[in-house]
Chains A and B, each alone.
Chain A
């Protein structure tokens, strides 16, 4: 038998790579726990009923409380209401349009028009969120002569749309063609086959896609800065400036008097986003057909 003098070196290298991969992979997981820990430790005391139901205190009240060594009064209710309002408005439009567009892209996948649209969808998905902020400022804020919750909804809509389209398109593409054939062979109308057979069959993953899209945009700050702007009172009027949880974190970050509220708000946002993410994963697993 031929003797390979390098065998020892090769095995050593092999083991080195194995250990290296394991060590570096473990290191990568650290930031998640560091961030979770930081936010949890600093934020959990602030979370409470009043924190979720009261609006931001004004700077003066906060200053007085800080001087007396008391906890800062008030909470993030204006942000929660704003986030919900804008998200809901954006989703109500983005979900049907996104699903229809996704169906279109998967149905006409060989067509040049659908291919082009597909590439532009990728492009929109990769567009920096700050650009979406600028564009909605130009399209909505300037003509309407003012910041508004509506403008914020438009920005979130543009951010959500490509995500929903992508998940619908990908899901519909992997459905077996025999499903559509079976529906059509029974003499079903095309649209009924689409809405009653194809869509229900892919509903699980589309729903996952929607949840992920929501969790993506719920934490977005940049596109809201020049559109919804923010506000200190609880407002249900989409025609006026509106706050959102991530916007409030940004305000607290920049306002020395309110800095104590940062971590509570972050804990709230982080919990929301991570729960949406985990829920989406769960559903994706469960609804697999």
Chain B
């Protein structure tokens, strides 16, 4: 009897999760439908209008989708040459050594820093440098946001990749060494092919994080609602436009922002799902 109550309790607590998940999709869709009905789904996604004047309101998500894609893509490109060495450092070269633990702790702590502090640091410390180097005219913009975003996702990509690099069986590596391969060749010919799908999924999950990152980007991207023309200009991402404008929004604008939220949610959900499925596969090989 008590056992039945306990098992029921377990199941009830597990039901909370699908309820929240389903509720998110339901509520976002319901509240976004105003914007989709008014502008049409594809029109909303493909339009770059953002007119807030009452009576002539027109909203489109394209600049923000583009902004998100650009920042995320750029952040990924900047992140790889740092996270991959870190993964090799902790997972292969200095595996099990004290120095590897130190570096792993450093990256863990990097992952723990709240995004608003990354934003502050980017704004007050990096922006002047970017201006000085003439990388972007105002210091803030897509490039700056992507750079800090890259630092933020390095820990995720690195620690997960490192796990997969560690999982490569020692006898495979020994076989290659036995044939006279150098360490670099073992890494390229044995470790990367074996751990490849795991490392790939680590980057997919890192993308998932970068897509939804809000505060840092909001503080650094410059917040303009036009299509970004170059990487040096300012822009907005899906997350940052919501952070900036949700507070004072109502009516059609609110619905449009929620619609952008829904799109963001779906994109991250799909990316994360792919990443998780790949990881589970990679772990079971």
A236 at the interface (CB under 8 A from B): no
On whether the beta carbons of A35 and B117 are closer than 8 Å, the reply is yes
**Alpha-carbon distance between A273 and B205 when the two chains are bound, in angstroms:** 23
Partner of B14, one of A17, A101, A216: A101
B54 at the interface (CB under 8 A from A): no
B114 at the interface (CB under 8 A from A): yes
Interface flags for A107-121 (1: CB within 8 Å of B; 0: not) read: 100000110110111
B170 at the interface (CB under 8 A from A): no
Interface flags for B103-130 (1: CB within 8 Å of A; 0: not) read: 1011111101111111111011100000
Interface flags for A234-263 (1: CB within 8 Å of B; 0: not) read: 000000000000100110010000000010
Residues of A close to B123: CB separation below 8 A? 253
**Alpha-carbon distance between A27 and B103 when the two chains are bound, in angstroms:** 11
Partner of B85, one of A24, A107, A121, A190: A24
Residues of B close to A21: CB separation below 8 A? 85, 88-89, 93
Partner of A130, one of B11, B242, B269: B242
Residue total for B at the interface (Cβ-Cβ under 8 A): 81
On whether the beta carbons of A25 and B242 are closer than 8 Å, the reply is no
On whether the beta carbons of A127 and B9 are closer than 8 Å, the reply is no
* Count class of interface residues, chain A: 35 or more
On whether the beta carbons of A190 and B3 are closer than 8 Å, the reply is yes
Partner of B109, one of A219, A226, A274: A274
CB distance from A5 to the nearest CB of B (A): 14
A134 at the interface (CB under 8 A from B): yes
Q: Could you list some 7 contacts between A and B, CB below 8 A?
A: A17-B183, A127-B212, A129-B212, A158-B20, A190-B7, A270-B117, A273-B112
Residues of B close to A277: CB separation below 8 A? 108-109, 112
Residues of A close to B124: CB separation below 8 A? 38
CB distance from A277 to the nearest CB of B (A): 4
- A32-47 interface (Cβ within 8 A of B): 32, 34-35, 38-39
A18 at the interface (CB under 8 A from B): yes
Interface flags for A207-229 (1: CB within 8 Å of B; 0: not) read: 00000000110111110011000
**Alpha-carbon distance between A98 and B85 when the two chains are bound, in angstroms:** 36
Interface flags for A184-226 (1: CB within 8 Å of B; 0: not) read: 0000011100100000000000000000000110111110011
Given A27-B82, A189-B3, A281-B108, are A17 and B272 neighbors across the interface (CB < 8 Å)? Answer: no
Main secondary structure of the interface of B (DSSP, over half): helix
**Closest 6 CB pairs between A and B?**
A128-B212, A219-B114, A191-B6, A126-B272, A24-B85, A100-B13
Residues of A close to B213: CB separation below 8 A? 128
On whether the beta carbons of A130 and B239 are closer than 8 Å, the reply is yes
**Alpha-carbon distance between A273 and B120 when the two chains are bound, in angstroms:** 16
Residue in B closest to A100 when the chains form the complex, CB atoms: B13
Residues of A close to B264: CB separation below 8 A? 128, 130-131
A29 at the interface (CB under 8 A from B): yes
Given A123-B21, A165-B17, A194-B6, are A219 and B116 neighbors across the interface (CB < 8 Å)? Answer: yes
Residues of B close to A92: CB separation below 8 A? none
A161 at the interface (CB under 8 A from B): yes
On whether the beta carbons of B121 and A222 are closer than 8 Å, the reply is no
B28 at the interface (CB under 8 A from A): yes
A28 at the interface (CB under 8 A from B): yes
Residues of A close to B18: CB separation below 8 A? 116-117, 120
